[in-house]
A and B are shown apart, each in its own frame.
Chain A
Amino acid sequence: MSATAKTRQVGRSLPRLEAREKVTGRAEYIHNLRLPGMLHAKIFRSDIPHGRIKTIDVSAAAAVEGVFAVYTGEDIKRVIPDPYFGPAFHDQPILALDKVRYAGEAVAVVLASDPHVAQAAADLIEADYEELPAVFDEVEAMDSKAIVHEELKPAGTFPDLKHLKGLRDTNVALDFHLRRGDTDKAFAEADHVFEHEFKTQRVLHLPMEPLISLAECTSDRTVTIHTASQSPSFVRIEIARLLGWADNQVRVRTAYLGGGYGAKLYIKLEALAVALTLLARRPVRVAIGMDEVFLTINKHPTTFKIRSAVTKEGKVTARACDVWWNGGAYADIGPRVTQKSGFTAAGPYDIDNVTIDSYAAYTNLPPAGALRGFGIPQLVWAYESHTDLIARELGIDPVEFRRKNILREGRPQATGTAMKDAAFDAVLERIAERLDWEKPFDRGAGTKLRGRGVGIGFKACIAPTTSVAVVNMGADGSCTLYCGTVDMGQGSDTAMAQMVAEVLDLEAEAVRVVRPDTDITPYDMGTLGSRSLYHMGHAVRLAAEDVKARLAALADELGLPPGSNIPIPEMFVKRYGMRAGNIIGTGTFVPSYTSPDADGLTPDATPFWMVGGAGVEIEVDTETGHIKIERLVNVCDVGTPINPAIVETQISGGAVMQLGFTMFEEMTFDEGQLTNGTLADYRIPGFHDLPATMTNETVDAVQQSGPFGAKGVGESATFGVSPAIANAIHDAVGVRLTSLPLTPEAVYTALQKSNLENGDS
């Protein structure tokens, strides 16, 4: 067979399988889909942050020529009686019911064959509200009189949320507590105690492809959803639950995604599209504009109070972390972010006494979810800024201080789980080496001062989660892979094909990967949290190995001698008398995991650790506060890369995205109203924001438990960027910024303040 490979497929930097479709503009996105008889939906949204709905007047909209129908939350109940969804809490109505909880929430929908007609009509809808007091700050929300949800409704899927069921008059959607050792004693005995507070701002994913879902009733008993989703299996199960149907009555399919980064997880527009198609009995397309993406999902702002006990030699003996997460009006996956990131809030350091208290709070702002790092970049920002401050205060070199305290292989981390295959020291040393850390550094002069800084972080993978894969070998020996991992640009199709090819001695290019479709591809928990390469990678490997074992069994059945090199197609012909039949291999993977106990401790917190760090050299213009990033070094432990070239682009892509979140991106609100919800006002990194030089590297490492020694990489490069830059600013000009973003205004203001304090001006 011509496709038989003589060389290793894993470790090859082959271009993405779909490269040609993407450069010719022909790659399939859900945006390209038009269904016969389809109606376009346009959404009318709340213009107040919190209020009871008194009336919704749709009469003018309904009277517009060409409008098919106008629906409100009450209409949705006709087809979905209990229309609340969400992965952690069933708290989000498909269209607002009784109350609106943020400015921008979907309240009513117009359907029309012409999208312009639907939009014009939607603009004519009027709603009247009884305004309620609103809460916007995550710390104030803890004991605010403004209550976002009168009663908490945990989804029941997560045991650690059960105690919140039915709770009334609270905005706390999860409290995670970790207690390790005796922090009180350690603080009492400490030579030094350091305490700081750090904040992060609200930013968002902003994939270039805005969110889109289409739904159609394919019979009286089945519905098909075509959606730009990172989690088709979740959508299927959640829609089936909402409808009271069996899973197999709901089909969810995706195409290539025009970016995701966490924006397209769980239910976004899918439930609305389904409700509308059931009401209208016509296919419905719900495509939102970029302005509406701003109102749909974003990233948790945080307040993080961190306190450390340190010996005079510079050893951290205790750390106490209080973290408040601003979840917005609906929990989405926020409670998971709170818990999973809670595991690592004390940083990658060997600290015997740790307390972590982490709270997810509801507020009257657009909902927050998972964004490239599941809360970790917010934490690393705080603990690596804090760590740097301690080192400076003690007069210890920041890299040396980290060396003294870093978690080494085999040592227990805050949860008690022993570190395994987490190359912190290698990552730190590589960054230091690339920055020539030990050599003298040019500090600039006059109004252009230079500085450098580092930051390293880590993350536990969400667990336990399941992936299932099927490899189907045809009678000509060619293979098709059926897996639910969604390729949104991270190159998963290519990596999965490489793993199939490796096992079956094929060329990776010859393996066909089927787009996720729940009618065809088996269950996968979702393409999120850098879990896919590890979990689905294992499932795919197992499925391919199953094919290989079945081939061997077939050879045996045919009486072929072991090791015979008879071509596969001939085996099929021998067995079936013609070119016919299949060999189908399956693989299921779920890692081990132990839920944390009452103290937040577990011996098995994660299937693998993600490790990443950054080092920067910057120049600060003291007259303007402007920062020039002259050099950015990104280093990650990704185990052994399956496709080194794609891994490198994941590292640089993650780091540049985080650069935007660090330097300028911020959603600004005035009394709950978003004031910069377009790309004209909310800037994302472009060519001019690239550092003058940037290197992206992996350290030599093996994830022993991973498929072919590999593990996930999608988020690791985001971890260290923000604190590395703040640390470099401190290094350059002696001022410390404790809130993101690090804008020229913030730098300039801090410089002015410090000049005043020092009596310089």
Chain B
Amino acid sequence: MDAQLKSIRFTLNGAPASATVATHHTVVEMLQEQFGLFGARESCAQGLCGCCTVQVDGTAMTGCLTLAALLDGADVVTIEGLDADGTLDPVQEAFIETGAFQCGFCTSGMILMIRQLLDADPDPDDGAIRDYLSGNLCRCAAYPEILKAVKLAAKKRAAA
């Protein structure tokens, strides 16, 4: 297969990073193969479930559809970056306290989306949460606990 290679430089979880990627490589592939980061993971591979979510320049993106080559110059945050200083993000804490996951496969994507939600709306009601997270699927259906986690995280962030 003729693959065009491209060298990119970007920020990954706060540190400078560089990679040489084929133009057809996705963000998930690059994070897994070149950086050993497995928190963004491929499930539907169609942009429909949110398991592959990463944050690019402050916005949550589907890592299964975004091409790695497009990250040149971007600021990329993955789930592994949230506790870089050794302490959990309030959303992560809230997930543990409310038991907002079962198998955990969807959890990284949920947490990144919820952080973005709370940045935009620090005190969302049930309807707003459901709307915002409607693109994140959880086959274990931990949805009721995730709703609780969002509210708890909102409280934690307000208190901090």
Question: Digit string of B81-93 for contact with A (CB within 8 Å is 1, else 0)?
Answer: 0110000100010
Interface centre among A15, A23, A261, A684 (most CB of B within 10 A): A23
Complex contacts, A15 vs chain B, CB 8 Å: 96-97, 99
Q: Is B60 close to A, CB under 8 A?
A: no
Q: A23 to B96, Cβ gap below 8 A?
A: yes
Question: Digit string of B1-26 for contact with A (CB within 8 Å is 1, else 0)?
Answer: 10100000000000000000010100
Closest Cβ of chain B: how far from A229's Cβ, in Å?
14
Q: A16 to B43, Cβ gap below 8 A?
A: no
Of all chain B residues, which has the CB nearest A66? B1
Q: Is A114 close to B, CB under 8 A?
A: yes
Question: Digit string of A530-565 for contact with B (CB within 8 Å is 1, else 0)?
Answer: 000000000000000000000000000000000000
Of all chain A residues, which has the CB nearest B133? A687
A653, B141: Cα distance in complex, Å: 5
A65, B3: Cα distance in complex, Å: 12
A27-35, A54-62, A463-471 - interface stretch: A27-35
Given A678-B44, A687-B129, answer yes or no on A208-B39 (Cβ-Cβ < 8 Å).
no
Of all chain B residues, which has the CB nearest A692? B126
Main secondary structure of the interface of B (DSSP, over half): loop
Complex contacts, A256 vs chain B, CB 8 Å: 103-104
Q: Which of A25, A34, A257, A686 contacts B103 (CB 8 A)?
A: A257
Q: Which of A16, A23, A208, A656 contacts B49 (CB 8 A)?
A: A208
Given A23-B107, A694-B144, answer yes or no on A490-B97 (Cβ-Cβ < 8 Å).
no
A118, B138: Cα distance in complex, Å: 30
Given A208-B106, A679-B137, answer yes or no on A688-B130 (Cβ-Cβ < 8 Å).
yes
Number of contacting residues on A, CB 8 A? Answer: 59
Of all chain A residues, which has the CB nearest B144? A652
A168, B114: Cα distance in complex, Å: 58
Given A65-B1, A207-B139, A679-B44, answer yes or no on A653-B102 (Cβ-Cβ < 8 Å).
yes
A688, B82: Cα distance in complex, Å: 28
Complex contacts, B59 vs chain A, CB 8 Å: none
Q: B102 to A27, Cβ gap below 8 A?
A: no
Question: Digit string of A670-681 for contact with B (CB within 8 Å is 1, else 0)?
Answer: 000000001110
Q: Is B40 close to A, CB under 8 A?
A: yes
Of all chain A residues, which has the CB nearest B103? A489
Q: B44 to A290, Cβ gap below 8 A?
A: yes
Q: A27 to B104, Cβ gap below 8 A?
A: yes
Q: A120 to B46, Cβ gap below 8 A?
A: no
Complex contacts, B96 vs chain A, CB 8 Å: 15, 19-20, 23
Question: Digit string of A471-489 for contact with B (CB within 8 Å is 1, else 0)?
Answer: 0000000000000000011
Closest Cβ of chain B: how far from A502's Cβ, in Å?
20
Q: A29 to B38, Cβ gap below 8 A?
A: yes
Complex contacts, A29 vs chain B, CB 8 Å: 38, 41, 105
Q: B102 to A679, Cβ gap below 8 A?
A: no
Of all chain B residues, which has the CB nearest A291? B45
Of all chain A residues, which has the CB nearest B39? A25
Q: Is B142 close to A, CB under 8 A?
A: yes
Q: Is A209 close to B, CB under 8 A?
A: yes
Complex contacts, A196 vs chain B, CB 8 Å: none
Question: Digit string of A203-234 for contact with B (CB within 8 Å is 1, else 0)?
Answer: 00111111000000000000000000000000
Complex contacts, B46 vs chain A, CB 8 Å: 290, 678-680
Closest Cβ of chain A: how far from B42's Cβ, in Å?
8
Q: A120 to B1, Cβ gap below 8 A?
A: yes
A23, B107: Cα distance in complex, Å: 6
Q: A258 to B103, Cβ gap below 8 A?
A: yes
Q: A259 to B140, Cβ gap below 8 A?
A: yes
Which residues of chain B from 60 to 110 have any CB-CB distance to chain A below 8 Å in the complex? Answer: 78-80, 82-83, 88, 92, 95-97, 99, 101-108
Question: Digit string of A1-24 for contact with B (CB within 8 Å is 1, else 0)?
Answer: 000000000000001101111111
Q: A289 to B45, Cβ gap below 8 A?
A: yes
Given A208-B43, A656-B143, answer yes or no on A24-B79 (Cβ-Cβ < 8 Å).
yes
Q: B99 to A114, Cβ gap below 8 A?
A: no
A513, B22: Cα distance in complex, Å: 40
Q: What number of A-B contacts does a CB cutoff of 8 Å give?
A: 161
A26, B99: Cα distance in complex, Å: 17
Q: B39 to A685, Cβ gap below 8 A?
A: no
Complex contacts, A32 vs chain B, CB 8 Å: 32, 38
A21, B79: Cα distance in complex, Å: 11
Given A290-B43, A657-B139, answer yes or no on A259-B49 (Cβ-Cβ < 8 Å).
no
Closest Cβ of chain A: how far from B153's Cβ, in Å?
11
Q: Is A70 close to B, CB under 8 A?
A: no
Closest Cβ of chain A: how far from B82's Cβ, in Å?
7
Q: Is A87 close to B, CB under 8 A?
A: no
Q: B130 to A687, Cβ gap below 8 A?
A: yes
Q: Is A116 close to B, CB under 8 A?
A: yes
Q: Which of A652, A657, A680 contacts B48 (CB 8 A)?
A: A680
Interface centre among B102, B131, B141, B147 (most CB of A within 10 A): B141
Of all chain A residues, which has the CB nearest B93? A23
Q: Which of B37, B51, B92 contacts A208 (CB 8 A)?
A: B51
A405, B24: Cα distance in complex, Å: 63
Interface centre among B43, B51, B78, B145 (most CB of A within 10 A): B43
A29, B40: Cα distance in complex, Å: 12
Of all chain B residues, which has the CB nearest A695? B144
Q: B95 to A23, Cβ gap below 8 A?
A: yes
Complex contacts, A258 vs chain B, CB 8 Å: 41, 43, 103-105
Complex contacts, A684 vs chain B, CB 8 Å: 137, 139
Of all chain B residues, which has the CB nearest A121? B1
Q: Which of B43, B88, B133, B145 contacts A209 (CB 8 A)?
A: B43
Complex contacts, A19 vs chain B, CB 8 Å: 95-96, 99
Closest Cβ of chain A: how far from B59's Cβ, in Å?
18
Complex contacts, A690 vs chain B, CB 8 Å: 130, 143-144
Q: Is B111 close to A, CB under 8 A?
A: yes
Complex contacts, B40 vs chain A, CB 8 Å: 25
Complex contacts, A116 vs chain B, CB 8 Å: 1, 3, 22, 24
Q: Is A616 close to B, CB under 8 A?
A: no
A655, B140: Cα distance in complex, Å: 10
Q: A685 to B141, Cβ gap below 8 A?
A: yes
Q: A679 to B49, Cβ gap below 8 A?
A: yes
Given A489-B140, A684-B137, answer yes or no on A24-B45 (Cβ-Cβ < 8 Å).
no
Q: A26-B39, A209-B105, A491-B102 are in contact. List 11 more A-B contacts (CB 8 A).
A: A15-B97, A20-B88, A23-B88, A26-B38, A26-B80, A116-B1, A208-B139, A261-B139, A489-B102, A679-B49, A679-B137
26 A-B pairs (CB sep. < 8 Å): A19-B99, A22-B101, A23-B92, A23-B95, A24-B82, A24-B88, A25-B37, A25-B79, A29-B41, A29-B105, A34-B33, A116-B1, A117-B1, A206-B139, A208-B43, A209-B41, A256-B103, A258-B104, A259-B102, A259-B140, A489-B102, A489-B104, A649-B140, A655-B141, A679-B46, A679-B49
Smallest CB-CB A-B distances: 4 pairs: A25-B39, A489-B103, A258-B105, A489-B102
Residue numbers of B with Cβ under 8 A of A are: 1, 3, 22, 24, 32-33, 37-41, 43-46, 48-49, 51, 78-80, 82-83, 88, 92, 95-97, 99, 101-108, 111, 129-131, 133-147
